[in-house]
Amino acid sequence: MRFSTQRESLLKPMQRVVGVVERRQTLPVLANLLVQVREGRLALTGTDLEVEMRAEAAIDAGEDGEITVPARKWFDLVRALPDGVKVEVQVKGDRVVMHAGRSRYTLASLPANEFPTTEEIEVTDRIALPEGKLRRLLERTSFAMANQDVRYYLNGLLLDLHDKQLRCVATDGHRMAMSEAGLDGSAKTKRQLIVPRKGVTELLGLLESTDESVAIEFSANHIRVRRGDVTFTSKLIDGSFPDYEAVVPLGADKLVTIDRDTMRNALQRAAILSNEKYRGVRLEVSSNCLRVIAHNPEQEEAFEELEAETQASDVAIGFNVGYLLDALGALDDERVQLRVRDAQSSCLLRGAGDEQTQHVIMPLRL
């Protein structure tokens, strides 16, 4: 195998795939990228056995073949090369030699047949939607995923396909984020699937805010997203997601409408004096007023009084300030609405003009 190309043409696909490679691996070959040259094109693949990323690029010249190369070392070398330099890579025995200008680098390699690539998946459903729309769905919900929870099905994000809608849902048991978007066509079947946390993170890094259409394919155990020269594949979490619709509070008749940035800034200031362990803040609602109060064991206090439109009075309820800030940060609207029923019930938070995104936050006893 041999190929030559400009440094920038090699660096771009490497940046797409190297993030998938874990720094600690169960198999030595998982620390490597699979490098394939076929008919004037270069393909780089990285995997951790759960998530796989493959990126292709055109090359100036080459001889067909395949090999695996240490991912981090190779990426760091190419990234450190000067702009515009021509890179030549070739296999010599069990080594890979890279020439760049008057410099030469020799790297160890492992055979390509040891690299565990994902087999062709049997596609059962296929949908397409604008790249920016999919990215927004993930941004508005992924922050609520659990992290290393024993309830493994919470360590990911639910994609719920139904009625020409794609709904994304994430929860860690203390809060829930839900957002949906319409599809031009409908999937063949009504289906729920859970994408693991790392897959969601890598997908967010891949997607950009454009109107270009991306293809999403589903099989029994995998999801695959094709975007230009990059193909993302992830295993699915085998489990049943909780009945998330039952979590949305009913009868939450007490409404507060407030400027998003005003509330967010006040919460950030109050968080400084909140209890470091519980991170609790108290929200008190009265006529045209929302008060934000925080205490800590050192008897320090933050008190903020904010102007708001309220359809309630004399309501006080505690929340984890981090959960409120995460939810507000995922919304785009200038004004947001909080709906509550009483101090023991969850809060429903949404943009004042957005019916498609909802955040539910459990109360905190202070």
- Residue 133's alpha-carbon distances to 86, 182, 209, in angstroms, are 37, 10, 8
Prediction pTM value? 0.91
Helix, strand, or coil here: 277? Answer: coil
- Same CATH topology for 2-114 and 248-361: the answer is yes
**Distance (Å, whole) CA 46 – CA 58:** 18
Domain 248-361, architecture per CATH:
Roll (3.10)
Domain 2-114 falls under CATH 3.10.150.10: yes
Token readout for 137 is 């769905």
Per run of 10 residues, the mean pLDDT along the chain (length 366 residues) is 96 96 91 96 96 96 95 98 96 96 96 89 90 96 96 96 92 97 74 96 94 93 94 96 93 94 98 94 95 96 97 91 97 95 93 94 90
Helix, strand, or coil here: 81? Answer: coil
Residue 93's CB: how many other CB atoms inside 10 A? Answer: 7
**125-245: CATH number:** 3.10.150.10
Please give the pLDDT value at position 185: 66
User: The tokens 């795939």 sit on which residue?
Assistant: 17
Please give the pLDDT value at position 365: 84
- Which sequence spans correspond to the domains of the chain? 2-114, 125-245, 248-361
**Distance (Å, whole) CA 3 – CA 91:** 10
What letter would DSSP give residue 252?
Answer: -
The whole-angstrom distance between residue 357's C-alpha and the CA centroid of its chain comes to 16
Please give the pLDDT value at position 26: 85
Please give the pLDDT value at position 119: 73
